[in-house]
Amino acid sequence: MSALTAPPREGAPRLAVRGLSVRFGGLAALDDVSLHVDEGEVVGLIGPNGAGKTTLFNAVCGLVRPSAGSIAVGGLPLAPDPVRLAARGVARTLQGLGLFRGLTVRENVLAGRLDAHDPGSDTQRQLADLGLAEHADRPVGDLPYPDQKKVALARALVAEPRLLLLDEPAGGLGTDDIAALGDLVRHTAATGCAVLLVEHHVDFVMGVCDRVVVLDFGRVIASGTPDEVAGDPAVDEAYLGIEVTAS
Ligand SMILES: Nc1ncnc2c1ncn2[C@@H]1O[C@H](COP(=O)(O)OP(=O)(O)OP(=O)(O)O)[C@@H](O)[C@H]1O
């Protein structure tokens, strides 16, 4: 059995990042970053623009090559092969929508579950869970932006991931949709999925996460519960006056 198809090691974090560094020429986008996400946990990854959040996601997905450090999923080292991520139970949403605009809602969600025995029924259930069933056969580009964000989420969730990477899921959403998103994230974690959440909407992060890790200039400057992080002066300083509050 290869490391890619082996079951996760019992007791190991779903995601363990140790001493990770990523360089782009002379720029250290990530510098000795360590973090972990356990089964059923929601961990927020926050920090100002350019702090390295998306680079960390890209490293986990094998899209950028670290210059140092290691990444393990379920206790097993991660091979730099984005195509095999789904087989390891990893799903991701993108900062933009990343949808196939010429396809219907159903076809977009189906794209997240092409390996399944009966992808059609999984897709239908996921669409119903997110209130998208009545839009299933519409071109995805015809839906309002919040519903398109839901389609992108549905495409990740239909794979029943064990590790879910969410890149700015609350971006562009109104208050009610953000509240519903928070419920969905917590519900997903309650099924045992580990969630790593990159988000600029700090109140949302503080309300939904069990722990928060703060990056600035590629380094971890704070980590802990939302209350611990919100009270950390280094975090206020990194955000240059943006209010950081725990709900
Ligand atoms: N492919 C790349 N080539 C060169 N530099 C890059 C590349 N990708 C990211 N960077 C740089 O690495 C640093 C970290 O970028 P990254 O996108 O990870 O930050 P971020 O925290 O996700 O920012 P934002 O909140 O704006 O999305 C930035 O200085 C960025 O300009």
Distance 22 CA to ligand 1 centre (A): 10
Confidence of residue 2 (pLDDT cuts 50, 70, 90): very low
Which residue out of 20, 22, 27 has the highest number of ligand 1 atoms within 8 Å of its CB and is therefore the one to mutate?
27
What is the tens place of the pLDDT at every residue in 155-194?
899 888 999 999 999 988 889 989 999 999 999 999 999 9
Average the pLDDT over 119-140 and give the result. Answer: 80
Residues 66 and 59 sit within 8 Å (Cβ to Cβ): yes
Which residue's CA is minimally distant from atom 24 of ligand 1?
A: 49
Phi, psi of 92 (to 5 degrees): -145, 145
Residue 19 has pLDDT above 90, yes or no: yes
What was the pLDDT predicted at 193? 95
Q: CATH homologous superfamily of domain 14-89+162-247? A: P-loop containing nucleotide triphosphate hydrolases (3.40.50.300)
Under 8 Å between Cβ of 75 and 36: no
Q: pLDDT at residue 3 above 50?
A: no
Tell me, using a 6 A CB cutoff, whether residue 169 lines ligand 1: no
Would the pLDDT of 86 be above 90?
no
Give the ligand 1 atom nearest the CA of 55: 18
Ligand 1 atom nearest 218 alpha carbon: 14
CA 177 to chain centroid: 18
Domain regions of the chain by residue span: 14-89+162-247, 98-160
Average pLDDT over residues 81-98: 80
Tokens of 86: 């789904």
pLDDT at 26 over 70: yes
Is ligand 1 within 6 A of the CB of residue 29? yes
User: Above 90 in pLDDT, residue 8?
Assistant: no
